[in-house]
Amino acid sequence: MRFLCTVLVVSLLAACAAPQTTDGQPPAAVEDRGGKPGASGVQAKPITSVDLTGRPVAGALKDPNSILSKRSVFYEFDKYDVKDEYKPLIEAHATYLRENGATRMLIQGNTDERGSREYNIALGQRRSESVKRMLMLLGGREDQIEAVSLGEEKPRAAGTSEDAWTQNRRSDMLYPGEY
């Protein structure tokens, strides 16, 4: 029974992995009853393609009325915990990742300019990891998500004001073509 369930889930994931059309709707899934060679006794894994084409993101991800168009989580100084106000945003992206199994995400953690550049790389990593962990708890797959850090090296806002620093203490959730 468990094996049957696995096969079912696998084929559903495979269906989700099909290429998307430009309006963001997946084309009709084609059910494949043929099975896979060597599937018996070995858990079959879905094949996801390496997509280097960097097509512009379309659909809900770009729709300003959709929460999915928002990508950034902001932090307090020297902190990496995700504040409650960002949980709906992360939930929405987790759902998107779950429903679009072939999609990948890069999370870039950033810090303000104060302190050690290397410590800030590590702090930015803690920030991106905290978002990644939350996405995974909500259904994103480990192999879909890479968390990295840019430390203080790529500030969104220039300057040394508290306002600039606030904007720069940030994790960004990015899809292929956006980084």
From the list 9, 174, 179, 7, the residue with the least C-alpha distance to 93 is 174
Residue 161 binds to another protein (criterion: CB under 8 A): no
For another protein, which residue of 15, 58, 106, 136 counts as binding (CB under 8 A)? Answer: 106
Question: Cβ closer to another protein: 14 or 147?
Answer: 147
| Separation of alpha carbons 156 and 143, rounded Å | 28
Question: Cβ closer to another protein: 149 or 167?
Answer: 149
Residue 81 binds to another protein (criterion: CB under 8 A): no
Q: How many CB atoms lie within 10 A of CB 65?
A: 7
Residue 97 binds to another protein (criterion: CB under 8 A): no
Residue 124 binds to another protein (criterion: CB under 8 A): yes
Residue 154 binds to another protein (criterion: CB under 8 A): yes
Sequence-distant (6+) residues with CB within 8 A of 27 are 18, 19, 20, 21
From the list 62, 86, 63, the residue with the least C-alpha distance to 74 is 86
80 within 8 A of 87, measured Cβ to Cβ: no
Sequence-distant (6+) residues with CB within 8 A of 75 are 81, 83, 127, 169, 170, 171
Residue 114 binds to another protein (criterion: CB under 8 A): yes
How far apart are CB 173 and another protein at their closest, in Å?
14
How far apart are CB 73 and another protein at their closest, in Å?
17
Residue 76 binds to another protein (criterion: CB under 8 A): no
Q: Applying CB under 8 A, which part among 42-50, 56-64, 93-101, 140-148 lies near another protein?
A: 140-148
